[in-house]
Every structure is written in structure tokens, then in C-alpha cells.
Amino acid sequence: MSRKYEILYIIRPDISEDDKNALVERFDTLLKDQGAEVIESKDWEKKRLAYDIKDYTEGLYHLVELNADNADALNEFDRLARINRDTLRHMIVQIDN
């Protein structure tokens, strides 16, 4: 049975527009390649952070809504988001159906 998830990640604010688009495309493709169905992937906005993260006071928020049958796509996203220097924070939440 497919479950619905939301992934919210924060991208460093000084990234170029092209690099940001490439990062988003890479993450969306990774999720699809791992078997998830990406429903929507959208930029939110640049927001001031509640506290500094890696010396940044602002971040670019990006939200992804998806369906996944298993945790493979989420685990791989989590692993890569942790080691990617352009992502400041990320959060994966299961949505109740």
C-alpha cells in the first residue's frame, strides 16, 4: 500500500539559481528512480531561520509531496541530503490518509 509523505528541505541561500534547479531536479529524479511517485515539488520562499545553521541566517525552502510503497526512496534521499553541502536541513513526514 502506498503512503503519502512530505519532504521539506532548506537550501543554502547563496546558491545560484541554476545550481538550485539542478539540486531540486537531482533529488526529484532520485525519488522517482527509487520507486516513489512525486506528486508536487515546489519552491516555497526564502525565509529567515530561527537560528543560524552553518553561519546562514536565511534559507530557501523547498517542499516535495510524494507517494511511496516502501522506505527505499526516503532512506536514499535522507542519506544524500545529509552529505550534500547545499542542503542545510531536511525533514521527512508521513501524512495520515
Question: Per-domain residue ranges for the chain?
Answer: 3-95
> Could you tell me which CATH number the domain at 3-95 has?
3.30.70.60
50 contact partners, CB below 8 Å, separation of at least 6: none
List, for residues 53-63, the tens digit of each pLDDT value.
Answer: 999 999 999 99
What does pTM read for this prediction?
0.93
pLDDT (mean) for 33-53: 95
Question: Is 8 a residue whose pLDDT tops 90?
Answer: yes
Residue 88 or 1, more confident: 88
Do residues 37 and 68 touch, judged by C-beta distance below 8 A?
yes
- pLDDT at site 97: 62
Query: Which of left, alpha, beta for 54 (phi over 0: left; psi -120 to 50: alpha)?
Result: left
Q: Which amino acid is at 21?
A: N
- pLDDT at site 93: 96
